Amino acid sequence: MLRITHAQTDTEQRWTLCGQLRGPWVAELRACWEHCQQVAGSVHTVVNLSDVTFIDESGEKLLRDMRGGGVEFVAAGIDTKHLLKHLKARGERQLRRFIAPQANCCDTPDAAKDRRDK
């Protein structure tokens, strides 16, 4: 679940996110952000991620798009700060998540290696 709070003045809009930026919540945030960009124009935008506990790959893509749109981010957690520090333009780096094939608990080292080599 993700709670999205939005406040706006004549010169700035502030977003505060709380929860997990993943799955359907990414689409919801994107729709809200794009709508406000159309209505508010080019006001300064600040997004507070201090209470976000998880960001999936689609959330990471959205943050990259938002940064490209001039959004300033505030973060508290080490992982979130690291993610924001390394957000770059589209295509400049691979996503940070990689799931390696796992060995079976009963596999011998050779059997696990053979499966990886296939």
Domain with 18, as residue range(s), is: 2-117
User: Which CATH number is 86's domain given?
Assistant: 3.30.750.24
pLDDT digits (tens, 9 = 90+) for 28-60: 999 999 998 888 777 899 999 999 999 999 999
109 versus 50: the higher-pLDDT residue is: 50
Number of domains in the chain: 1
> pLDDT at residue 93 above 80?
no
> 3-state DSSP call for residue 32?
helix
Per-residue confidence (pLDDT) for residue 96, from 0 to 100 = 53
State how far the alpha carbon of 117 is from the alpha carbons of 73, 97, 104, 105, in Å.
42, 21, 15, 18
Q: How confident is the model at residue 98 (pLDDT cuts 50, 70, 90)?
A: very low
Mean pLDDT calculated for residue range 89-100: 50
Percent of the chain that is helix, strand, coil (3-state, to 5): 40, 25, 35
Check: pTM over 0.85? Answer yes or no.
no
